[in-house]
Structure 1
């Protein structure tokens, strides 16, 4: 389950003033120095460099619209974004994933409809895999740098990685 007080505390600490020095380039996930070395497709299909998050604390999370935890997690992520998005520059990058109980079966249009209906204001990316050989390279990097309990694999929906202002994964929840 999502440990909101711990995540809020860690997020607040990271806003204390870290500096950004890494350069961005398209490289293999094993050679990446930060999340800024990756690209991802938005839910609208636009390829973007994660360098756009340079200098921001971020939360990267795998989401699903039909999970029993969806309502609570989307509400809590929305609260964090409302509280820290404008005032502190928090960014939330959400990646729909259908690998856990088939709980994100829809296409991009269906996912867009869901997030609009729920007034989601943070960034939504294209549906990806977070585990296995075809996992998105960013998620391979995140799991490698912040391993989980009982293995590095993602266990379920709404696993969150906190990223510092230097693009480094510093915590994992879920």
Structure 2
């Protein structure tokens, strides 16, 4: 497991999450703006058209039928504007950000699996992790201890020969 890769992919993941959130926020703001504009049109612009249509329809039909027809037309126009505002966001930016997000999540999952296998290997077989670290110093100690008795016995023989 490489911590630099993990940090790099966490940064990429954070950046892509910010980009995705920014794109979605812009889409929500545009949708909210369209809805507000639709409400403004419904409140002021259609009031005048409705008033003129009402006077025109009263001459043909009764006032009740004229008001009902104009109300239905207003609901239809408002429904069309809300349907346009509710469209899902589309664009290459969001697709690219989602693709980068997915690949960084995959890499982080791979790094997490590698870390898990390392940790489980150390937990299940603790000597496998410690043995290579202890093997070289133990070999050097054993070699030094084997060399010392031979070197120590030779001076003792010479000193015993010098004493006689």
Same fold (TM over 0.5): no
Structure number, greater radius of gyration: 2
Higher relative contact order, structure no. (Cα contacts within 8 Å, ≥ 6 residues apart): 2
The TM-score, its normalising length taken from structure 1, stands at 0.17
The TM-score, its normalising length taken from structure 2, stands at 0.18
Which has a greater percent of helix?
2
Which has a greater percent of strand?
1
